[in-house]
Structure 1
Amino acid sequence: MTEVKLSKRLQAVADLVKSDSRLLDVGSDHAYLPTYLIQQKKIDFAIAGEVVKGPFQIAKNHVAEQNLQDKIEVRLANGLAAFEESDAISSIVIAGMGGLLISEILEEGKDKLSQVEQLILQPNNHEESLRSWLVAHDFVISSEKILLEAGKIYEIIVAEHGTSELNETELEFGPYLSQEKSEVFRKKWNKELSTLKKILERLPENHEKRAAVQAKKEKIEGVLQ
């Protein structure tokens, strides 16, 4: 068995998975995450879900090479259709997709989430839409991470069952991230601020979009203070 080394992004996801979880990894990318968690003895059962036959076969081959077929089941299925109630899945990871797609996957499978204790979500964009979906469907964001890897910034959202309300700022910037204001968080939003300033320089004073761009610029400046 070859020990799996995870990327910085996936390592951050792995660190957030609860010990002894029964895991579903949606869009599993070679089943690296489940393999690592099994090898580290953090969990002892996982489903690696793939919706396309090519990646499905690659993941199956990887699991076989690691001789972990008794602990990791690779299933060809769309989103949360990869598991059944009898699988007793307690943690779900959906990483490396757009926030809108993650929201759609959760929406399509929402009737299967009642017994799931933990969602670990890593959207590549539209984080605010995903947070809105979670709040609307009685999930509480329990923690957030933001990290920089190979020049890209990634956010990770962990959610559990419960009711909460997030204001507009918390939805857009993250309830925890906007409080912590880490160096990476500041890097992300300073870059956005720079883009908005350039747009304002080009827009005529009476342009219809100017007020919205100016408002967003001021909101970011307020959060970064």
Structure 2
Amino acid sequence: MAGLDERLAAAAELARPGLAVADVGCDHGKLTAALAMSGRYPKVIGSDLRPGPLAKARQTIQQMHCQDRVELRLGDGLSVLAPGEVGTIVLAGVSARTTWEILEAAPWVFQVGGPRLILIPATRHAELRRWLLQKGFTLVCDRPVQAAGRWYAVMAAEYTGQPVEPTLEQCIYGRTAEWPDSEPYRALERGKLKKYRLGVPEGSPLAAEIDGLLARDEGSDCR
């Protein structure tokens, strides 16, 4: 969508059409406005914890002349939403921990048939993938995207009620290999894993798992 960086454009593509969508932590409101302008959603809700960003979002909405399709709300996390109100929730730009803390505060997202979650964690992608899978979500999309010189993972998750204990590979890479341009992202994650490996005791099961994953990925036993 015009005016969005690559990560927000990827997020917009994953929202379920025909259902209301919420942009939680909307900041400047560019994604909120783009979703409204697309005409694919009966209602777009933009929310933020702070009045300042919400005022900027209101200016963006007014400039794009889509006030009639947007509702802006001030509030913390998903407290601004009612259960079943939206088909998609976008939550971008906060850490993995903050992401799951926001979700845990809204038990109604943990329901089969509940909203699709579009998540763009600012840090610790692997930890968020682990949390999602352990809590009974499945990743329906996991797209590596570069924006402003940084790599992001744009994840779309849906609740299945079937928790699994993910492998290290599932946590580190998710489903990013399904995208043809994923290698730079995967190389970056491998680099992080190598640094992490330095602090793992030799001979431990975790060390063996890391070494095996790096060996498979690079064709040699890399640490």
Give the TM bin, normalised by the shorter chain: 0.7 to 0.9
Give the structure 1 partner of residue 217 of structure 2: 224
Residues 193, 160 of structure 1: alpha-carbon distance in 2 compared, 3 angstrom cutoff: closer
Given that 2:116 and 2:156 are in contact with CA atoms closer than 8 Å, whether structure 1 keeps it comes out as yes
**TM-fit CA distance, 1:190:** 4.1
Letter in structure 2 aligned against 1:47: I
From 90, 93, 110, give the equivalent of 2:107. 110
Given that 1:103 and 1:129 are in contact with CA atoms closer than 8 Å, whether structure 2 keeps it comes out as no
Q: Which runs of 5+ in 2 are unaligned?
A: 219-223
How far apart, CA to CA, are the structure 1 residues paired with 2:216 and 2:13?
Answer: 28
**TM-fit CA distance, 1:128:** 2.8
**TM-fit CA distance, 1:18:** 1.9
Residue correspondence of structure 1 range 147-162 to structure 2 within 5 A: 147-162=145-160
TM-score of the pair, normalised by structure 1 = 0.81
Residue correspondence of structure 1 range 1-225 to structure 2 within 5 A: 4-85=2-83, 88-112=85-109, 114=111, 116-162=114-160, 163-177=162-176, 182-192=182-192, 195=195, 211=202, 218-225=211-218
Given that 1:166 and 1:175 are in contact with CA atoms closer than 8 Å, whether structure 2 keeps it comes out as no
Q: Secondary structure at the match of 1:70?
A: helix
How far apart, CA to CA, are the structure 2 residues paired with 1:80 and 1:210?
Answer: 40
Letter in structure 1 aligned against 2:120: Q
**TM-fit CA distance, 1:152:** 0.8
How far apart, CA to CA, are the structure 2 residues paired with 1:210 and 1:164?
Answer: 29
Give the structure 2 partner of residue 205 of structure 1: none
Letter in structure 2 aligned against 1:222: A
How far apart, CA to CA, are the structure 2 residues paired with 1:80 and 1:45?
Answer: 16
**TM-fit CA distance, 1:209:** 5.4
How far apart, CA to CA, are the structure 2 residues paired with 1:129 and 1:20?
Answer: 32
The Cα RMSD (Å) is 2.8
Residues 94, 15 of structure 1: alpha-carbon distance in 2 compared, 3 angstrom cutoff: same
Given that 2:92 and 2:121 are in contact with CA atoms closer than 8 Å, whether structure 1 keeps it comes out as yes
**TM-fit CA distance, 1:97:** 1.0
**TM-fit CA distance, 1:166:** 4.3
Given that 2:91 and 2:99 are in contact with CA atoms closer than 8 Å, whether structure 1 keeps it comes out as yes
**TM-fit CA distance, 1:126:** 2.0
Given that 2:135 and 2:163 are in contact with CA atoms closer than 8 Å, whether structure 1 keeps it comes out as no
How far apart, CA to CA, are the structure 2 residues paired with 1:155 and 1:38?
Answer: 24
TM-score of the pair, normalised by structure 2 = 0.81
Give the structure 1 partner of residue 221 of structure 2: none
Residues 140, 31 of structure 1: alpha-carbon distance in 2 compared, 3 angstrom cutoff: same
How far apart, CA to CA, are the structure 2 residues paired with 1:76 and 1:185?
Answer: 35
Q: Secondary structure at the match of 2:67?
A: coil
Cα shift readout 1:10-67 (whole Å, capped 9, x = no counterpart): 1111111122231111111222112112212222311111001111111122223333
Letter in structure 2 aligned against 1:14: A
**TM-fit CA distance, 1:120:** 0.6
Q: Which runs of 5+ in 1 are unaligned?
A: 201-207
**TM-fit CA distance, 1:78:** 0.3
Cα shift readout 1:155-213 (whole Å, capped 9, x = no counterpart): 1111112125242324421431256682223331343256468xx5xxxxxxx855379
Letter in structure 2 aligned against 1:145: R
Count the aligned residue pairs: 213
